[in-house]
A and B are shown apart, each in its own frame.
Chain A
Amino acid sequence: EAGVVQSPRYKIIEKKQPVAFWCNPISGHNTLYWYRQNLGQGPELLIRYENEEAVDDSQLPKDRFSAERLKGVDSTLKIQPAELGDSAVYLCASSLDFSLGQVSSYEQYFGPGTRLTVT
């Protein structure tokens, strides 16, 4: 079974330029996540999709970041314009999320990430 696929793996851009990341989740996984991971830190959630609906985008800097998940499968995360502080690894993850009442039981499968360097 193929894992979560992300591209590109590495991206170097100058500040104020736009950049886009692409993610293909594991087939059948209804939930997709975008995380940002700064050096020496854990992943921080940017946005979570359930199917094609963004159910949690509270941490997404909406002035410059945007995301979409067309047809509830692939997803694209965009930054425009990029700033120096956006340099980080952007991780995509997916899960087969099921909840029974107040109990949640799932694990997330992560892609290898895109390492973004803004100069």
Chain B
Amino acid sequence: SQQGEEDPQALSIQEGENATMNCSYKTSINNLQWYRQNSGRGLVHLILIRSNEREKHSGRLRVTLDTSKKSSSLLITASRAADTASYFCATVVLHTGGFKTIFGAGTRLFVKA
């Protein structure tokens, strides 16, 4: 089962515009991570935000976390054609035997040059 649900499923924007993707989850988390996957490639870690944090920045990326609403958002500012990829949120939850990472179904972002 997938705990994280991304919204929208697909997003198409012009280069230079901002892209916002949302992730909702169901159970309490230890931390939440965002990953990017280019076509036919493995996933690449972008950013991690802990459950006691509300906002984090990394370059053109801004992530927010609202634990009361069980949701997170990823903002990519000044998008580039190279940002075209699928973006996944992954929730890390405490589980029998340690921690477990659960990925959502992803948002497919297409940035038009």
Q: Which residues of A contact B (CB under 8 A)?
A: 4, 33, 35, 40-45, 48, 50, 55-56, 91, 93, 97, 99, 102-105, 107-113
A40-B105, A42-B104, A99-B98 given; A104·B92 CB < 8 A:
yes
CB-contact partner of A110 in B40, B44, B92, B104, under 8 A: B44
A40-B105, A102-B30 given; A107·B42 CB < 8 A:
no
- Please classify the interface of chain B as helix (H, G, I), strand (E, B), loop, or mixed, using the class held by over half of its residues: strand
Q: Is the CB of B103 within 8 A of A42?
A: yes
Q: Is the CB of B42 within 8 A of A105?
A: no
Q: Is the CB of B99 within 8 A of A99?
A: yes
What total count of A-B pairs have CB within 8 Å? 69
Distance (whole angstroms) from the CB of A54 to the closest CB of chain B = 10
Residues of B within 8 A of A50 (CB): 98
Residues of A within 8 A of B50 (CB): 103, 105
Distance (whole angstroms) from the CB of A104 to the closest CB of chain B = 4
CB-contact partner of A113 in B42, B92, B99, B104, under 8 A: B42
The answer to the question of B14 belonging to the interface, with a C-beta cut-off of 8 Å to chain A, is no
Residues of A within 8 A of B2 (CB): 41-42, 44
Q: Is the CB of A45 within 8 A of B101?
A: yes
A-B contact pairs, 17 of them (CB 8 A): A42-B2, A42-B4, A42-B88, A42-B103, A42-B104, A44-B2, A45-B102, A48-B100, A91-B42, A93-B43, A99-B99, A102-B30, A104-B99, A107-B48, A110-B42, A112-B40, A113-B41
Q: Is the CB of A44 within 8 A of B98?
A: no
Q: What total of chain B residues lie within 8 Å of the partner, measured CB to CB?
A: 29
Distance (whole angstroms) from the CB of B109 to the closest CB of chain A = 14
Please measure, in the bound complex, the distance between the C-alpha atom of A42 and the C-alpha atom of B14, giving whole angstroms.
Answer: 25
Distance (whole angstroms) from the CB of B113 to the closest CB of chain A = 24
CB-contact partner of B100 in A56, A93, A110, under 8 A: A56
Please measure, in the bound complex, the distance between the C-alpha atom of A45 and the C-alpha atom of B48, giving whole angstroms.
Answer: 19
The answer to the question of B81 belonging to the interface, with a C-beta cut-off of 8 Å to chain A, is no
